[in-house]
Amino acid sequence: MRATVGVFDSGVGGLSVAEALHRLAPSLEIRYLADTAYFPYGDRTVAEIADRAVLMVGRLIDQGANVVVVACNTATSAALERLREAFPSVPIVGMEPPVKPAVEHSVSRRVLVLATAGTVSGARLARLTETHRGDAEVFTVPMPGLADLVEAGQIEGPRVEGVLHAAMDAPLASGVDQVALGCTHYGFLRPLLRRMLPEQVELVDAAEPVARRALHLIAEAGLVIDAEAAEREVLCYATGDAAAFEAAVERLRAAGAALPPTRVSRPVA
Ligand code: DGL
């Protein structure tokens, strides 16, 4: 059977994961669902996000997805176990802030994690940090409003730079040498962050490892990617206004974001 990967996020953020998947396997069939009607997830309750996540993954499976990537740290934190219980026959890959590689790479033994308020307050990140911290200090900073700026296409400019400076300056001054991106929206801020950060500070992003994990699960499940087939567009759906979602994607593209080829489907899923 042919592999179809369903990727879901609250908005455009998970396209940073879809981009990695598409780059690694251009002919792979990818369906992307953005829950824009409920964006942002970062400020919502765990119960609310978990209910939405079950609904979204159910829709992707109804549309033919046989592997699912929850390309949202906040939804993974709120709902991964529940999703795996609800859909036991479909491999589901979650997304966690890359605390482990950041700690492993840190020479100064100081790591900064940027994530949404929901992810920062969740038990999942606390567990992850406890497990992998070792002798390192892990600064975890909630970034309310940052995903909203990215959703609005602001991946450059004084406003977003100001928000990042306010969050990073003190941890950087204390010797942080790893910045872990704990929200898929922040993946689009990589070029800006690279310019803002001192050369010795490493940026750690989970998009590509998660994409590789999804490809591994495809192979393990015996699903097929026709490597000879032509490159495929990522077919996108939004729960909110499709035209507004398409405009959000095009704003990001115009701002220079790395995105896969996309086609936004109407009417709304
Ligand atoms: N992209 C989502 C994440 O990875 C969060 C954005 C939001 O707050 O909806 O956490």
May I ask the CATH class of domain 4-95+207-264? alpha beta
Instruction: Kindly report, residue by residue over 159-215, the tens digit of the pLDDT.
Output: 999 999 999 999 999 999 999 999 999 999 999 999 999 999 999 999 999 999 999
Cβ 44 under 6 angstroms from ligand 1: no
Ligand 1 atom with least separation from CA of 72:
4
- Return the pLDDT at 219: 97
Which of 185, 205, 210, 245 to probe ligand 1 with, by most ligand atoms within 8 A of CB?
Answer: 185
Ligand 1 geometric centre to CA of 17 (Å): 12
The pLDDT score that the predictor gives to residue 128 is 98
Q: What residues contact residue 114 under an 8 Å CB cut-off, 6+ apart?
A: 141, 143, 146, 167, 168, 179, 180, 181, 182, 183, 186
CATH architecture of 99-204: 3-Layer(aba) Sandwich (3.40)
* Residues catalogued as catalytic: 72, 183
* Residue 143 CB less than 6 A away from ligand 1: no
More confident residue, 268 or 35: 35
Q: How far is the CA of 224 from the centre of ligand 1 (A)?
A: 30
Res 45 pLDDT > 70:
yes
Return the closest-CA partner of residue 32 out of 13, 47, 46: 13
Assign 174 to helix, strand or coil: coil
Angle at 217 between CA 212 and CA 219, to 5 degrees: 95
To the nearest 10°, report the CA torsion of 121, 124, 127, 130: -60
Q: What is the H or E stretch that residue 85 is in?
A: helix 73-86
Query: Looking at the chain, which residues constitute the CATH 3.40.50.1860 domain(s)?
Result: 4-95+207-264, 99-204
pLDDT at residue 151 above 60?
yes
For residue 188 and ligand 1, the question of a CB distance below 6 A is answered with no
Pocket lining: 42 vs ligand 1, CB cutoff 6 Å: yes
Burial class of residue 39 (count of CB atoms within 10 Å of its CB; 0-12, 13-18, 19+): buried
User: How confident is residue 58, by pLDDT bands cut at 50, 70 and 90?
Assistant: very high
Q: Is the pLDDT of residue 154 over 50?
A: yes
- Alpha carbons 208 and 17: distance in angstroms, whole number: 7
Per-residue pLDDT for 267 more than 70?
Answer: no
State the average pLDDT for the chain: 96
CB 253 within 8 A of CB 259: yes
Does 32 contact ligand 1 (Cβ within 6 A)?
no
Judge whether residue 83 has pLDDT over 50: yes
Ligand 1: atom nearest CA of 183 is 4
For residue 176, give every residue at least 6 positions away whose Cβ sits within 8 Å of its Cβ, in sequence order, or none: 108, 110, 111, 112, 139, 168, 201
Query: Which pLDDT belongs to residue 268?
Result: 45
Gyration radius of the chain over CA positions = 18
Separation of CA 194 and ligand 1 centre (Å): 21
pLDDT number for residue 266? 81
**109: Cβ–Cβ under 8 A, 6 or more apart, which residues?**
135, 136, 137
